[in-house]
């Protein structure tokens, strides 16, 4: 029984007992229930009345502060932690699709027949893929192709921002052939032989167009011969060597005079490694370095002299030559727009805005513009290597017109013969993360409250006197029966407790504020009631 609890409580319970039964013999269970209901309804009233007794202020205030601090801790503890969202990023690996390469795993390249079959299928596949070249040249949204550059294409990915990938550019250089003349042979139709200075037959051309690759000069896989009836000048204003065609064949089949000047060109390309910047989501090119688009170009000095020694057929073996080095070799597989003019020739004519032969004007072509146009053409040709052969292509005259039977592999599925070279690059993925955040104000408040709780509990922890379990009298309540037992076993309480004239709650509580102990005799020391 702690201090602050007096006879007022017992008296109230006693009055309740006498009011419930006139004979005073009320069952214990009824008294317990009544006492419980009484305490439940008047607990707050008794706590508030503690203020009138100076001796009980500290205890009540300590209990109030202790419970108040616990309540404050319940409020501040959830505020200690909060989830905070923030933007974060990380590097991810993105697969890229690069330039087309061969997939010759199904061929026996150690045998002559295997190599011949692979070579035939390579040109069959190339011709089928190049059938889409016109639409590619007209497109402005071909992912992986920009001008004369092929850049790696990103696979769909969650990355954002710019990504750097590998790129390959076709740097074209054209040279003008010298020391040749044309000789007309009417019995072979509208055809002219190219005769070297020493009289050697080196090439032949058909009816001359504005520009065409229909000239039978030996070449390698990176070089294409052209002839042009338009003057081509370099950035210094120097014109290329021209030979005149003095005779031609009329529509009636008779010879007629002619005054057509023709240039023979030898155009080859070199591969230039570049670094391209693309958008991670749209996969479109943003920029590329170095830039190979030419603003000026000059004829080589001296110009290439036409002879058997310096123009030879360079055959490295198509099977062992990288696919990207075969653009010039595939040039002959381009479809014809008209006799003597292929799709590639027609693109160059359009790109350079050349006038027809009937025009009275004499157009001039800048050498660097021709080289830039051919760079775009070669890159577009290689880009089509990533396009599957149309299913209708195997029924065209390219295959059906062969003198020898078509190999089974050529009429079958060879769409996997060309495939994109796979690589990878690094992209940046942006995402939202959540982290646990500590509130410093809540931490400080919780620390102060915890220290306060420790200080409030010190009197009960340090100054508590343990007299031993054998001396403690077990008292389970303060009801009416407990009061009878108390006065019966400790009659000295009558002398210890002061007599009050009016038994009000406050008077009784004030008179009962004594320190007593039920362990042994009651003394004037007024020890705590335990």
Residues ≥6 apart with Cβ < 8 Å to 230: 210, 211, 354, 362, 363, 364, 365
Alpha-carbon Rg for the chain, nearest whole angstrom, is 53
Between CA 443 and CA 453, with CA 449 as vertex, the angle to 5 degrees is 140
Residues composing the chain: 530
The two tokens of residue 148 are 């004369």
Coil, helix or strand for 259? strand
Residues ≥6 apart with Cβ < 8 Å to 484: none
Could you tell me the pLDDT band of residue 366, with boundaries at 50, 70 and 90?
very high
Count CB-CB contacts under 10 A for residue 522: 19
Q: Is the pLDDT of residue 406 over 50?
A: no
Helices 343-351 and 367-383, interaxial angle, to 10°? 140
Cα-Cα-Cα-Cα dihedral sign, residues 397, 389, 272, 149: positive
DSSP letters along 499-526, please?
P-SS--HHHHHHHT-----SSS---TT-
pTM score of the predicted model:
0.63
Q: Is the pLDDT of residue 304 over 70?
A: no
Could you tell me the pLDDT band of residue 29, with boundaries at 50, 70 and 90?
very low
The pLDDT tens digits for 245-270 are 766 645 544 444 466 788 888 888 99
Residues ≥6 apart with Cβ < 8 Å to 347: 137, 373, 377
The DSSP H or E segment spanning 168 is strand 162-178
Residue that the structure tokens 């009540």 belong to = 60
Q: Is the pLDDT of residue 295 over 90?
A: yes
The pLDDT tens digits for 220-232 are 677 888 888 888 9
Which residues share a beta bridge with 95?
Answer: 424
Mean pLDDT of 225-244: 86
Distance CA(269)–CA(521), nearest Å, equals 120
Strands (E), 376-518: 418-438
Could you tell me the pLDDT band of residue 53, with boundaries at 50, 70 and 90?
low
The pLDDT tens digits for 151-189 are 999 998 888 889 999 999 999 999 888 877 777 766 666
Tell me the three-class secondary structure of 186-246, residue by residue: HHHCCCEEEEECCCCEEEEECCCCCEECCECCCCCCCEEEEEECCEEECCCCCECCCEEEE
Distance CA(124)–CA(128), nearest Å, equals 6
């Amino acid at each position: 029984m702690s201090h602050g609890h007096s006879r007022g409580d017992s008296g109230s319970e006693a009055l309740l007992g006498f009011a419930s039964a006139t004979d005073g013999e009320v069952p214990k269970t009824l008294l317990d229930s009544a006492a419980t209901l009484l305490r439940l309804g008047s607990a707050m009233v008794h706590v508030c009345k503690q203020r009138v007794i100076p001796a009980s202020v500290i205890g009540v205030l300590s209990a109030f502060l202790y419970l108040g601090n616990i309540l404050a801790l319940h409020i501040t503890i959830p505020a200690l932690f909060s989830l905070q969202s923030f933007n974060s990023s990380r590097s991810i690996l993105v697969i890229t699709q690069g330039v087309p390469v061969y997939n010759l795993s199904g061929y026996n390249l150690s045998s002559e027949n295997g190599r011949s079959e692979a070579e035939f299928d390579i040109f069959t596949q190339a011709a089928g893929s190049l059938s889409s070249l016109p639409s590619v040249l007209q497109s402005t949204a071909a992912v992986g192709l920009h001008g004369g550059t092929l850049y790696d294409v990103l696979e769909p990915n969650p990355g954002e921002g710019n990504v750097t990938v590998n790129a390959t550019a076709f740097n074209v250089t054209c040279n003008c052939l010298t020391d040749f003349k044309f000789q007309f042979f009417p019995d072979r139709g509208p055809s002219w032989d190219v005769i070297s200075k020493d009289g050697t037959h080196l090439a032949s051309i058909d009816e001359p167009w504005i520009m065409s690759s229909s000239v039978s000069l030996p070449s390698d896989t990176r070089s294409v011969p052209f002839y042009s009836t338009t003057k081509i000048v370099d950035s210094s204003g120097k014109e290329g060597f021209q030979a005149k065609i003095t005779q031609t064949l009329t529509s009636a089949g008779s010879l007629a005079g002619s005054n057509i000047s023709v240039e023979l060109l030898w155009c080859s390309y070199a591969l230039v490694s570049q670094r391209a910047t693309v958008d991670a989501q749209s996969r479109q090119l943003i920029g590329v370095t170095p830039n190979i688009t030419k603003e000026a170009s000059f004829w080589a000095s001296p110009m290439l002299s036409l002879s058997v020694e310096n123009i030879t057929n360079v055959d490295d073996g198509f099977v062992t030559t990288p696919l990207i080095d075969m653009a010039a070799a595939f040039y002959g597989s381009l479809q014809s727009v008209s006799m003597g003019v292929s799709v590639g020739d027609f693109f160059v004519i359009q790109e350079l805005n050349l006038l027809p032969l009937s025009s009275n004007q004499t157009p001039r072509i800048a050498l660097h513009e021709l080289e830039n146009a051919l760079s775009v053409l070669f890159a577009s040709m290689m880009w089509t290597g990533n396009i599957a052969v149309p299913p209708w292509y195997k029924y065209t005259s390219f295959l059906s017109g062969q003198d020898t039977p078509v190999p089974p592999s050529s009429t079958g599925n060879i769409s996997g013969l060309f495939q994109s070279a796979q690589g990878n690059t690094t992209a940046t993925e942006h995402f939202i993360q959540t982290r646990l955040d500590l509130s410093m104000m809540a931490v400080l408040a919780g620390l102060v409250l915890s220290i306060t709780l420790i200080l409030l509990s010190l009197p009960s922890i340090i100054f508590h006197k343990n007299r031993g379990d054998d001396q403690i009298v077990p008292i389970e309540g303060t009801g009416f029966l407990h009061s009878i037992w108390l006065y019966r076993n400790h009659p000295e309480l009558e002398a210890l407790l002061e007599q009050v004239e009016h038994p009000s709650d406050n008077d009784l509580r004030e008179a009962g504020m004594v320190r007593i102990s039920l362990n042994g005799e009651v003394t004037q020391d007024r020890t705590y009631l335990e």
